[in-house]
Structure 1
């Protein structure tokens, strides 16, 4: 979750940010390295100073410490402090082996004969001296003379100037590295952004704001880079091929629709032509026997029934092809219209049609009418072709708490592999054949549903599941 916002940024922004971040990290590491080297140099200077100081005092004070000659010890300490770095050596004191102070450069702080123990607190050996952040460092060393341990030497060093030097250098390092890092980060951002600009063009062409891929204009192809030129030209070729395939699928879909309408029209022509013959006979009968009321009533009833049948057939055709039905809810009347549309084709083949609508009005009303009608009609038309002469076709519509179930069965020999691929898969269409089954697949997918296929001993079963409440642009 913490890096989700970063992952949502375009790659043309993320890469320069990463480069700038690496440069900042490099500046921090370089500053730490410089400060570490400075600390090592300062520590080495302090250790060398304390070593020379302690060794010189040991050689000069050894005989006087053995004789407990306090005045000579004090005189040597005073001359050593004046001759050496007096500003850094704050205090130097010498004690005997029992820890009693013999002399000190500041007798008021360390009187003769006092205990040296309080000056040994936090004291380190000369070879272990290092900067700790304190302004005063205390060094403790044995006083050796001719290989014998004759006392102790304690020295206090003022290192405040070294601390100021370190802080001053650290401040300038911070300012200098910040400025250099900012400049290098900006330069890296500009360079990487320029290098990734072709990638940004490609990303925009692949989707952009509309989400639809489009070809890259010739003027935006980087001809200076042969590799990128080939990449852009290959992408344009793929885009053109995808557009051509989509256009071919649209044409096939339109052709399939016209073919389906043609087949339905030829079947429905019989449904209209047969009642027309009866209507003409009834009209002739009325004209021939206008004075016989029973014959007129019988003929008028025949005319009324024929006209009602023709009205139902024409209404079903109009409802199926009406363009403004996409927002209307599904009703049981929609399936009755489909029965009127498909019934003549099934009757022409001598097929048995089993029709069962078990879903109630509330369950049907959760789904749009137009795409569901189109899905069922396409499946019925394919089932009718597959069942052949004297075959069986069935439609079973049911519902449960999860959604609507549309079950279409036929007694045909089963679906071919290409037809099954059109219905079940989303890949390119296999060569040959129509796209009615692919239309079913696309519509069900837009409705958020699923399709399953089963083949029993003598029946092919297609089950379409549609969850409720899914909008569609079908």
Structure 2
């Protein structure tokens, strides 16, 4: 679930749409703030102008009456001013003398005559400082009453600004709705445009992953002609796919060649194994012909013939088993290791090398592994080990079952693998022909069986370990 919520795992089209939406929201917030700020300044300017005209008009009319404390004339003037005020913006006005005592008010109940005007003037602002941004629907404005430069009283007026607040709210809602609609449209448009732009990339991804790691060339008709960069990318992919096919074919031929190289080496060694018993067999037939009337001599010669023929039979059977076409369908058994030893032992005998051979496992337990690939892996590693070991050195093979896996270990007391040989055995990078008997073939076969191969230097010995998992049983 955490991977789903991680933005880095979302498709590019969704991320671009969200990025576009976020940018639009940010831009909308900045633009809306500018619009609302401009609107507030205009409203404040209009409100200040209205308050200035209203208060200055009252100041001119009320100045003489406030100087003489003529309460009725002050009240009459306030009443006429309220009646003539347009739009009902003026809610309440109170006039006080120079001592702050109320002379008259448009609502005498709120401000009785001779009461203190301080409760109204405390939160009132000067005409030039009034603003529509206070957040309240009613603002109070104060101004002095002067006659010929003499301060004779004060005026406090309450103004209704609820219409200005409603106008700002309506503007904010309109901006919010407009920004949301524009964000939605641009986000969807961005997703659509990006999806169209990414179609060649999706086509490339699909062709790269369709064939289980073997890329399939993209048809020329599917390559876009409008975007030269993407078209060049797709054609480069087609060239890469062709190069991979050519490399796979070259590696297949190389593996086949290395297989024949190993068989050629075995054939030269086995020729000695066949030639020696043949000489003994011919001597035995000559003896039988010469001493046909002597049963004890014939009997000894027949025993020699029997042993020699059995040895030749075992050698020929091992060779046939190693090269039979359908051997990959057979499962492994201890007999396969006996055949391997029979095939490989002449190589070590010819080089006067000691062969250490340890097979640890029951026949039934070996039956979970294919015979052909295991024999091929072991034979190629043994041939490589024999080539690396010095004359009179030591080569070893051990096979054991560990936690359901088959572990093959081939050792030799040679100088160790070169960097090129290690690359052939442990890496999938392309290599030049040569550099080790079947090492790349071993790596490919092990990888095909889902196993792993490692190489270590332990003391004076090189150890190559192959671990193969058991094959899953196919249900009938």
- TM-score, structure 1 normalization: 0.77
Question: Is structure 2 residue 340 aligned with structure 1 residue 338?
Answer: yes
Q: C-alpha separation between the residues in 2 aligned to 1:290 and 1:123?
A: 151
CA shift in 2, pair 1:260/1:159, >3 Å: same
Q: C-alpha separation between the residues in 1 aligned to 2:3 and 2:105?
A: 63
Q: C-alpha separation between the residues in 2 aligned to 1:455 and 1:318?
A: 34
Q: Which residue of the partner structure matches residue 442 of structure 2?
A: 440
Q: C-alpha separation between the residues in 1 aligned to 2:452 and 2:407?
A: 10
Q: Which residue of the partner structure matches residue 250 of structure 2?
A: 248
Kept in 2: contact 1:65–1:150 (CA 8 A): yes
Match of 2:329 among 324, 331, 337: 324
List per-residue Cα deviations over 1:204-231 (Å, max 9, x = no partner): 3333574432222222233344444433
In structure 2, list runs of 5 or more residues that go unmatched.
none
Question: Which stretch shifts more, 235-244 or 174-183?
Answer: 174-183
Q: CA deviation at 1:408?
A: 3.0
Give SS of 1:213's match.
Answer: coil
Q: C-alpha separation between the residues in 2 aligned to 1:123 and 1:33?
A: 28
Q: C-alpha separation between the residues in 1 aligned to 2:152 and 2:276?
A: 139
Q: Which residue of the partner structure matches residue 104 of structure 1?
A: 105
Q: Which residue of the partner structure matches residue 380 of structure 2?
A: 378
Q: Which residue of the partner structure matches residue 71 of structure 2?
A: 70
CA shift in 2, pair 1:284/1:3, >3 Å: same
Q: What aligned pairs does 1:122-133 form with structure 2 within 5 A after superposition? A: 123-126=124-127, 127-133=129-135
- TM-score, structure 2 normalization: 0.77
What is the alpha-carbon root mean square deviation over aligned residues?
4.5
Q: CA deviation at 1:105?
A: 1.4
Kept in 1: contact 2:20–2:190 (CA 8 A): yes
Kept in 2: contact 1:101–1:112 (CA 8 A): yes
Question: Is structure 2 residue 164 aligned with structure 1 residue 162?
Answer: yes
Kept in 1: contact 2:51–2:141 (CA 8 A): no
Q: C-alpha separation between the residues in 2 aligned to 1:11 and 1:435?
A: 48
Kept in 1: contact 2:281–2:304 (CA 8 A): no
Question: Is structure 2 residue 298 aligned with structure 1 residue 263?
Answer: no
Question: Which stretch shifts more, 154-163 or 25-34?
Answer: 25-34
Q: CA deviation at 1:245?
A: 1.2
CA shift in 2, pair 1:115/1:409, >3 Å: same
Give SS of 2:186's match.
Answer: helix
Q: Which residue of the partner structure matches residue 357 of structure 2?
A: 355
Question: Is structure 2 residue 148 aligned with structure 1 residue 143?
Answer: no
CA shift in 2, pair 1:144/1:416, >3 Å: same
Kept in 2: contact 1:367–1:470 (CA 8 A): yes
Q: CA deviation at 1:279?
A: 7.6
Q: C-alpha separation between the residues in 1 aligned to 2:405 and 2:118?
A: 91
Q: Which residue of the partner structure matches residue 451 of structure 1?
A: 454
Q: Which residue of the partner structure matches residue 84 of structure 1?
A: 85
Q: CA deviation at 1:415?
A: 3.6
Kept in 2: contact 1:123–1:139 (CA 8 A): yes
Q: Which residue of the partner structure matches residue 187 of structure 1?
A: 189
Kept in 1: contact 2:284–2:302 (CA 8 A): yes
